[in-house]
Structure 1
Amino acid sequence: MQLVNKKQAFGVSKLPHPFGVFLVVLLVRFWVTLPIYGQSRSATVLANSDSVSSGVQLYEYQADRIEEDFKTGEVILTGNVVLQYNDVELSAGRIRFNRKTQRLEAEPLADSTGAPTVGIPRFSRGQEEFSGIWILYNLDTGRGTVRGGRAVHQSKYFKGKQILVQSQKEMHARTISVSTCNRDHVHYDFLCNTLKVLENDKAIARSVTFRIGPVPLFWLPFYVFPLQQGRRSGILTPSLGSNSRDGFTVSNLGYYWAPSEYWDATVRTAIREHNGFRMDTQYRYNVRRRLSGDMDLSFENGRTGTGGSLRSWRLNFQHRQRLSPTTKIRGNGSFTSSSSFNQRNSNDLYQFLNRQLRSSFSLDKRWSDTGRSLDASVSYTRDLERDQNRFQGFPTLSFRQGRKRIFGVPDNASSRGQPWYKAFYYDFSAGLRNDFTRNPDATQDTQDLTVDSRVGVNSQHRPFGWLGITPRITLSQSSSRNDQNRPTRRETYSGAISSGTTLYGIFLPKIGRLRGLRHRLQPHIDFQYNQSATVDGGTFGFGGIRDWSDPRRVINLSLNNVLEIKTEVEGKDRRSTFASLNMRTGYDFDTSSPRNWRSLTTSGSVKPDRRVDVRLSMSHSFYNERNERSMLTPGLESITVTSNFRFRGQSVLPEDRYEGRNPLQSTGTDFNIERDLYSEHEDVSQPWRFNLSHYYSFRKASFAGSADSKRTWIKGDLGFNPTPSWRVAYSANYDLEDTRLTAQNLTIYRSLHCWEARFVWYPTGFNRGFYFRVNIKDIPQIKYEHRQGGYGL
């Protein structure tokens, strides 16, 4: 029988579960899981294998020539053979299948020179691809052989000289190459002499060589690759590197152990040329919705600058646990035997600069139905610089009764329509705090024990619907005993009444994209009265002799303005805050200063576009240097203006899995001066970007003889991509007052196909130096790096 360019359909059983995630398994798993059955044009044949199911699914094929021998049961598809099943496609120059022996053979055809290069067997499913020079497989026994196999899976590329399939559970491979490089001549690969794969278990490789091009650089006698999904125990991937502090290093040598779904452990070691070795252990646990935490213990055996031996350790831990739906505990701790452990072992600038170790433990209890809560905590801080131990809140106890109605209406019920007295609420809190320090010199130790309580009553009323009035009365008491063993009790009585409203102005212009303006004006005024007394004697807050201090009466005034806009972009409405301006002042009736009026503080912001952000903060005094009041012309005390402008081009980079990566970091849009100039370099996908920030501050001298304070700087950040493979970024901070550069860095990034290189130069600042690194993009642990200068590295 012979058919030319004819498409047909025949039955095939459902595909069994695939082998696993290890890419080498892909070299055969598609052939193992795809039983193919030839047939005559007049019948549909069900598969006869272990994977037979009751359902029949259609499979389409086409070929230049189809031959079938009914005696031997052999079907031969020749010339441009294409088999399709859902999203699976198989093509080859020739496919032979024998129904009786269940033997499948796929091979290419010879070209004009006699070389077998026409129609190399190729399998594809989604983004996965597989090919082989010659494939032989028995559907009954599950055994087969693949020669010259190639596969692509999850952006990884595999080449195998010969693969022997013993069954659907086991496979052997010889001379197999694994890489993320898609070139015919890969830039790097892992060459395994032999490989044994156990489905859904592991792959055992012997004689593994890491090569850059054809040059071998590293060799392991064996390696075990886990194939199971999820967390599985296994050997960690080693990392090679070099820097001026440690010299040549081999790190991440260790083992990950996951015996349970609730906890795991990791042990890793770093061997350093100059500083001996460091061992890190990590233990993690997590029982869903019950408890979680981790513990990190590091130990180093290194050498001092004089050549002596140095041994030190560091311990960090944290724990979170829910004892009940309303009770939780939390704890964390940091301890070390050496004050310079982080400086010798950390590459992170801010961990390097941290000179304090903090530990704490807390218990939280909530009674949701009554609004009550109880918090208990202890905290400890060790100052490594001064060798001081501070126990802050050791312990701290706090009880709080949330706002609750005094008279019998439920708290969540509306007070509208209720008598005025049912709108009154009360709240209560009490606490204990014990603080003390311990120093090398015991005479400098301090101690302070404080017990306090507070009860408040407040109400909310809207007599006219638009005006809010909130009165409040508070009574608080604090008893303390300091390191001089002298008890002190202090009581404070306070009352306040506040009032405010919100006014709106709405405009609906149609100018360009502008469709609406809303001005929100919020005036607010409150009056406060405070009276305090020091109490000598008495019991539990009652009785005793009170020494009353002068009362304190204050009026606070504030006015908030917010301008919101609505624009129409591509038929969709967008709402944003265009500008805001807030002002605040107050009048103190009982101050000892001749300046009763408090300074007028003003804060504002303008953000007309996401590329522009300007913020303003000012303080004015209503009094001149002779304390003469001038309400209409207040004098400037301080002003701060921060401006940020951000511009960037539209992304035009190709959607390549390498070139789409973003290797550089924007220096940020905050107004810190130098912090972001020394941070890691994240990704930039735009062809160019330019950020410009300006900071200006002025503070008038607060007393005679002192000088005014002025500070102003400008920070620029420029990044561009000359080509898709080259990226350059430059950041600088210039002090306009001292006319000098305070910090700058230059970053140059080069994409080297499956590798990438980065050079960062810090020509000025405390971190002066440079950093160079080259690494594999998909395996950044395999790298070479060198750092010179900067915080001891």
Structure 2
Amino acid sequence: MLLNKFYISIILCLLFSQLTKAQEFNTKKALNIPAEPTQETPVGDSLVQEGLLKVRDTIKADTLKKQSTFLSDQVVSTAKDYIKFDRKNERVYLYNEAKIVYGDLEIQAGLIILDNRKNEVYAFGIKDTANNYTQKPIFTQANNVVEPDSIRFNFDTEKALVYNSRTEQGGFKIKGAVTKRQNDSVYFMKNVKFTTAQNIDDPEYYFYARKIKMVPDKKIVSGLVNMYIADVPTPLGLPFGYFPLTEERASGFIIPSFGDNRNRGYFLQNGGYYFAISDYVDLTVLGDYYTNGSYGLNFSSNYAYRYRFNGNVSFRYEKLLNSEPGFPDYSEQSIYNIRWSHRQAAKANPNSNFSASVNLGSSKYYKETINQNNSGNFLQNNLSSSVSYSKTFPGEPQVNLSITATHSQNTNTEEINMTLPTVQASMDRIYPFAPKNGTKKGILQNINFQYSFNGKNQFKTTDSLFFKPQMFRDASTGMQHSIPISTNFKVFKHFSVSAGTNYKENWVFKTYPKRYDEQLQEVVTDTSRGFSTYRTYNFSTGIGTTIYGMFNFGKDKKINAIRHVIRPSISYSVAPKFDEFYDTYLIPATSGMDEEIVEYSKFEGTLYGAPSNRYASSINFSVSNDFEAKIRAKDSLATEPEKRSLLKNLQFSTSYNMAADSLKLQPVTVRGTLPLFKEKLNVNFNGALDPYALNNKNQRIDKLNINNGGSLFRLARANVSFGYSFSSKDFERNKDDEDAQDETHRNGGRKDDLFGVATNTTGGVNNEEKEPKVDETEWYNYKIPWDLRLSYTMTYNNDRRQNEISSHSIMFSGNLQLSPRWSVGVSSGYDLKNNGFTYTQLRFQRDLESWKMSFNWTPFGTRESWYFYIGIKASMLSDIKYDKNRERDRTL
């Protein structure tokens, strides 16, 4: 690209520098220059006047007024062979690696000629010993570079001709046979190629225009444009073209994609307008239309305020019509989805924070939407949202306040739980008897108390009633005050004892008294609105310690020692019964049934539930174990053995309810983690061991299993699971792990591709990858990049003598890069119980340098479909693509 008036400055600087600093460097050829007295040429604006290069009489020169200079920096000119004056033809020659630098402007060429008669400057390449044209002109100004074959510039007209220029503008690489500089900011080019390919001289594709008008950093306007692929013209063309070059955001239209859908006919998707509102916020409005009448609207916006916050918000609505009106299979539905993500910078405000992560909408959205095939989301059963504001009030004691709105939605049952809002306030612990200096010791000094407040406005509703009047009428509102008091101390130096009590007061504004209606012969629950309150309290204490055991086998052994860490604990809790908050209703005697008095609490169904009307007194037992080994290091120079975990957090826990009439002992819960392969694979397991026997009806009875002819414990349930990821990078040194977030993860799905990757009709897959770095000098099959993820789970149930495996499955996903630009992937799973494959996706991708091709295929199941895409990578040409998909038949 030629840069307006800077070229004029360069040429003037060339003339000034040659007259003031002309000399020869490393002259290889004898020059026939007649001996003349040394002349001193002043530097000034008058250098461009006629006859400036003529020899001046020293007396006349003294009588001239000194010209003012406009140069603001030093001019440096060099040439490898020579810098020569031709006084007869009034020319200056710089030959071989000629270079002129003035400030941030630089021009390099094999040959630079200044012609004072024609007021023109020329820059050329030169031929080397092999007769190749080398050292083509290179003009650099700041970050802008132009590489033509030759340059011709005229001072009088201030116009220039540039031959075979190469430049880059706004992501485009442009090559023009002839470029004419019209004025400071407009250039006309003839026989032009422009592309986003890396090699402008041999691009895999390009657009060819006979004539174009270019305004640097702004736009390219062309006449007839044809697209060439591998130098072969295609029928793709436009009578005229407009290509924006600005690197700043600009408002503009978004070209829709087109295709056909077996259920809704032909469509135009994702067409609309982009609004560059300001440097802080933008807006994208997109729409879809199908010939059967279905349509969709999408509004999305990104916003950011540097060092304070950033986020994005989107809303999508779809009106879906199946088949045609009047047909028996005709149906219609409306679905929507709202997403909002807001993040506050960590240092924006140290005492307050606001964040949001919202994903709510129709339960069927991810299963029914036709604008994307997001496998990572439709396999999720829950949508969740949270908007929170927190504030800290420093002081003694410190007070923390948070206001939160939450949302949880089951997409299978369509049940929605929402709190709008939840207000929580808490005060830091206060130690009233602690010493002013030093550590706290003993029971008294460790006594502390807190205060916390929790207030909620909770809604339980469904999709059909969401944000309708009934949802607000059924809301539950309540407040809870809590004051925990606790202390801790040591006994016998090795035992830690803790004790505490907790007082709670609950306020509700709606209760539910019950009565028996003799006419209807059923229990009727009324709703009583008004302020009600109840109070509860409890007491708990516990003692625990840590025991260390060491088994030494000798330093000469492979296993030097095994350490066993045991953490036993026992606790006791007691809570009185609060029967003062209970009432009764009478069910009269009927034929075959006696009169019955039923006890109930009007607080049942309220926000915090009813207080217990049963006395509770239980003892809890727990013991956890950790096993570690010291193993002789493989490195003979290592002075210390390696530490390796053998079994982590093997825990046994149970409780004994002393207030129960029967079945006082609870099942023993067992859980732990088995680390394998140097803790790269963690196998998690848990289970329940029931000490009680079952009767003939498979019901628990108050009789120990061992006294019923069985074993000490009966395995009631068990679960084992593990997840493992490894790749070729695990066998390489200095590997870098990247934590990428794609569209699937932002929607609440998994970060990895275990459930497949998302595709959409705007072009290819959603997870963006960095451009691969290919070393053409290596044999590629020396190392083939690959990755593999495994997830396994098995659940066993036997609490009622089922003796069955209720679930047993394995899921896997992997990617294999067959060549530097070919990759294949698969995501699938197998249900070992039902003997069938789970959701399966096959992926094929081909990197075509400037293009990208992908094919995603779901071969079977309810989501059976395929999607093919090929298009240009560059975002500015994302509309130049071909995609075709066949979605599943929703009528089956």
TM-score under structure 2 normalisation? 0.67
Residue 99 of structure 1 and its aligned partner are, at CA, apart by: 7.0
Instruction: Name the CA distance, whole Å, in 1 between partners of 2:825 and 2:381.
Output: 32
The 5 A counterparts of 1:502-541 are 503=548, 521-536=566-581
Correspondent of 1:752 among 844, 848, 854: 848
Instruction: Name the CA distance, whole Å, in 1 between partners of 2:128 and 2:298.
Output: 59
Instruction: Name the CA distance, whole Å, in 2 between partners of 1:688 and 1:316.
Output: 38
Correspondent of 1:217 among 197, 214, 236: 236
Instruction: Name the CA distance, whole Å, in 1 between partners of 2:793 and 2:411.
Output: 35
Residue 772 of structure 1 and its aligned partner are, at CA, apart by: 1.5
Residue 344 of structure 1 and its aligned partner are, at CA, apart by: 4.0
User: Does residue 67 of the first structure (1) align with residue 84 of the second (2)?
Assistant: yes
Partner of 2:50: none
* Amino acid aligned to 2:281: W
Q: Deviations over 1:19-52 (max 9, x none)?
A: xxxxx57899899879655452279998979996
Deviates more, 1:725-734 or 1:25-34: 25-34
Partner of 2:178: 162
Instruction: Name the CA distance, whole Å, in 2 between partners of 1:331 and 1:756.
Output: 35
Partner of 2:737: none
Identity of aligned residues (%): 16
Residue 455 of structure 1 and its aligned partner are, at CA, apart by: 0.9
Q: Deviations over 1:578-610 (max 9, x none)?
A: 641321312223244425143131211313347
- Is this contact kept in 1: 2:392–2:398, CA < 8 A? yes
- Is this contact kept in 1: 2:283–2:300, CA < 8 A? yes
Q: Which secondary structure does the structure 2 equivalent of 1:62 belong to?
A: coil
Query: What RMSD over aligned residues (CA atoms) do the two structures have, in Å?
Result: 5.5
User: Does residue 415 of the first structure (1) align with residue 460 of the second (2)?
Assistant: no
Q: 1:290 to 1:549 in 2, by over 3 A?
A: same
Q: 1:330 to 1:760 in 2, by over 3 A?
A: closer
Residue 435 of structure 1 and its aligned partner are, at CA, apart by: 3.2
Instruction: Name the CA distance, whole Å, in 2 between partners of 1:509 and 1:333.
Output: 58
Instruction: Name the CA distance, whole Å, in 1 between partners of 2:656 and 2:406.
Output: 38
User: Does residue 616 of the first structure (1) align with residue 685 of the second (2)?
Assistant: yes
Q: 1:492 to 1:187 in 2, by over 3 A?
A: same
Q: Which secondary structure does the structure 1 equivalent of 2:834 belong to?
A: coil
Q: 1:501 to 1:208 in 2, by over 3 A?
A: farther
Partner of 1:429: 452
The 5 A counterparts of 1:70-85 are 70=87, 74-78=91-95
Partner of 1:763: 859
Q: 1:321 to 1:723 in 2, by over 3 A?
A: closer
Q: Which secondary structure does the structure 2 equivalent of 1:75 belong to?
A: strand
Partner of 1:468: 496
Partner of 2:30: none
Q: 1:154 to 1:93 in 2, by over 3 A?
A: same
Partner of 1:588: 656
Q: Which secondary structure does the structure 1 equivalent of 2:838 belong to?
A: strand
Partner of 1:137: 153
Q: 1:535 to 1:562 in 2, by over 3 A?
A: farther
Partner of 1:375: 402
Residue 156 of structure 1 and its aligned partner are, at CA, apart by: 5.1
Partner of 1:227: 246
Correspondent of 1:778 among 865, 869, 874: 874
- Is this contact kept in 2: 1:175–1:192, CA < 8 A? yes
User: Which structure: larger Rg?
Assistant: 2
User: Does residue 557 of the first structure (1) align with residue 622 of the second (2)?
Assistant: yes
Partner of 2:786: 689
Instruction: Name the CA distance, whole Å, in 2 between partners of 1:697 and 1:672.
Output: 23
Q: Which secondary structure does the structure 1 equivalent of 2:445 belong to?
A: helix
Instruction: Name the CA distance, whole Å, in 1 between partners of 2:750 and 2:628.
Output: 24
Partner of 2:536: 491
Q: 1:380 to 1:87 in 2, by over 3 A?
A: closer
Q: Which secondary structure does the structure 2 equivalent of 1:535 belong to?
A: helix
Instruction: Name the CA distance, whole Å, in 2 between partners of 1:679 and 1:561.
Output: 42
Correspondent of 2:23 among 14, 31, 41: 41
Q: 1:258 to 1:769 in 2, by over 3 A?
A: closer
Instruction: Name the CA distance, whole Å, in 2 between partners of 1:232 and 1:154.
Output: 12
Partner of 1:203: 219
Q: Which secondary structure does the structure 2 equivalent of 1:697 belong to?
A: strand
Partner of 1:281: 299
Q: Which secondary structure does the structure 2 equivalent of 1:421 belong to?
A: helix
Residue 784 of structure 1 and its aligned partner are, at CA, apart by: 1.9
TM-score under structure 1 normalisation? 0.75
- Name structure 1 gaps, 5 residues minimum: 1-23, 654-662
- Is this contact kept in 1: 2:486–2:501, CA < 8 A? yes
Residue 491 of structure 1 and its aligned partner are, at CA, apart by: 1.7
The 5 A counterparts of 1:80-479 are 92-98=109-115, 103-108=120-125, 117=133, 119-122=135-138, 130-137=146-153, 143-151=159-167, 157-166=173-182, 169-182=185-198, 184-191=201-208, 195-198=212-215, 202-207=218-223, 209=225, 211-213=227-229, 214-219=233-238, 221-223=240-242, 225-228=244-247, 231-235=248-252, 238=255, 240=257, 242=259, 244=261, 253-270=271-288, 278-287=296-305, 294-298=312-316, 305-306=323-324, 314=336, 316=338, 318=340, 326=351, 343-349=369-375, 363-369=389-395, 370-377=397-404, 392-407=418-433, 415-416=439-440, 420-437=443-460, 446=474, 448-462=476-490, 467-479=495-507
Partner of 2:517: none
- Is this contact kept in 1: 2:76–2:100, CA < 8 A? no
Instruction: Name the CA distance, whole Å, in 2 between partners of 1:205 and 1:270.
Output: 30
Q: Deviations over 1:710-766 (max 9, x none)?
A: 433344545434433332334442233333333433322233342232222222332
Structure 1 or 2: larger strand share?
A: 1
User: Does residue 741 of the first structure (1) align with residue 837 of the second (2)?
Assistant: yes
Residue 458 of structure 1 and its aligned partner are, at CA, apart by: 1.5
Instruction: Name the CA distance, whole Å, in 1 between partners of 2:536 and 2:684.
Output: 41
Q: Which secondary structure does the structure 1 equivalent of 2:755 belong to?
A: helix
Deviates more, 1:520-529 or 1:118-127: 118-127
User: Does residue 638 of the first structure (1) align with residue 724 of the second (2)?
Assistant: no
* Amino acid aligned to 2:713: P
Q: Which secondary structure does the structure 1 equivalent of 2:324 belong to?
A: coil
- Is this contact kept in 1: 2:620–2:654, CA < 8 A? yes
Q: 1:728 to 1:525 in 2, by over 3 A?
A: same
- Is this contact kept in 2: 1:195–1:204, CA < 8 A? yes
Correspondent of 1:701 among 798, 819, 840: 798
Deviates more, 1:470-479 or 1:391-400: 391-400
* Amino acid aligned to 1:783: K
Instruction: Name the CA distance, whole Å, in 1 between partners of 2:6 and 2:101.
Output: 17
Q: Which secondary structure does the structure 2 equivalent of 1:263 belong to?
A: coil
User: Does residue 789 of the first structure (1) align with residue 887 of the second (2)?
Assistant: yes
* Amino acid aligned to 1:589: N
Q: Which secondary structure does the structure 1 equivalent of 2:704 belong to?
A: coil
Q: 1:564 to 1:161 in 2, by over 3 A?
A: farther
Q: Deviations over 1:507-564 (max 9, x none)?
A: 89989999998765544333323334143499xx9xxxx9952122222313141638
Q: Which secondary structure does the structure 1 equivalent of 2:576 belong to?
A: strand
- Is this contact kept in 2: 1:193–1:205, CA < 8 A? no
Q: Which secondary structure does the structure 1 equivalent of 2:164 belong to?
A: strand
Q: Which secondary structure does the structure 1 equivalent of 2:575 belong to?
A: strand
- Is this contact kept in 2: 1:295–1:315, CA < 8 A? no
- Is this contact kept in 1: 2:186–2:216, CA < 8 A? yes
Q: Deviations over 1:673-719 (max 9, x none)?
A: 99614656666977153637363524232225x45234333445454
Residue 352 of structure 1 and its aligned partner are, at CA, apart by: 5.5
Instruction: Name the CA distance, whole Å, in 2 between partners of 1:329 and 1:648.
Output: 38
- Is this contact kept in 1: 2:363–2:412, CA < 8 A? no
Instruction: Name the CA distance, whole Å, in 2 between partners of 1:235 and 1:175.
Output: 28
- Is this contact kept in 2: 1:490–1:532, CA < 8 A? no
Q: 1:652 to 1:462 in 2, by over 3 A?
A: closer
Instruction: Name the CA distance, whole Å, in 2 between partners of 1:744 and 1:722.
Output: 21
